[in-house]
Amino acid sequence: MNFHARLHKAEQLDNLSLSGKVLLKTLTSLKLINILFGNHRQLVNSTLQYCRSKPEKKYFRILDLGCGGGDSIHSISQKLSQNGIQAYFLGIDGNQESIAYASSRYAHHDHIEFRTANILKDSFSIPECDLIVSSHFMYHFKDDELVTFIKKAKQKGIKHLIFSELKRSRFAYFLFKYSSLILPISKMAKKDGLLAIRRAFTIEELKIVLNKSDITNYTIDKKFWFRTLTKINL
């Protein structure tokens, strides 16, 4: 099994027509994984840190790419609200059923909106926003596609990006493979999780992408459980 190069193979969740109990169980599984492995906490704290660094700004427009069931948005929204920071959130996902699920859960929040769109298409237009966040999504881009996307965001005038991602390694793969046996998550989440690790970037690969994107002001932090948190100032 080769871990030296990124795998470009679709996961079951990449099927944008996926629906029903299988999808709902997988979205619930992903929420649990994000909580257990600290992903939500890292994304929330980084977003709060960025917003606090802009005390002159009274209102933030935050875009979540590949939002799934909307859990990241909800966690960030709660944290910002607790700290007196006002924000409008837009979550975008390619699966219409995921968007319907997220909308039904958070419809009572007038500052949260969800929209269906295929982010990976060349025709995708990035909505106006101040900050883009993403969890477990950027590895869906091929290297050159991610370069194009970052340049497009810069041209759009977006100020900051935060990507919380997996880090590819053999040890991470087998750690998840065996630890997932005792986790109460769906079979699809287990199988897709292994594919996601093999599709993920290494830190050196991320640096190459950012350099090709003409980005010089960024940090890539290593996190527990073989994760990376990339913060980009555009």
List per-residue pLDDT tens for the chain, 234 residues long. 889 999 999 999 999 999 999 999 999 999 988 888 878 899 999 999 999 999 999 899 999 999 999 999 999 999 999 999 999 999 999 999 999 999 999 878 899 999 999 999 999 999 999 999 999 999 999 999 999 999 999 999 999 999 999 999 999 999 899 999 998 999 999 999 999 999 999 999 999 999 999 999 999 999 988 899 999 999
Nearest partner of 199 among 229, 175, 166, 225, judged by Cα: 166
At 223, give phi and psi (nearest 5°): -125, 160
Residues contacting residue 153 through CB under 8 Å, at least 6 positions apart = 126, 132, 161, 234
- Domains for the chain: give ranges and CATH numbers: 12-233 (3.40.50.150)
Other Cβ atoms less than 10 A from the Cβ of 224: the count is: 8
* pTM score of the predicted model: 0.95
First to last CA, the chain: 37
Helices (H), 67-140: 71-82, 96-106
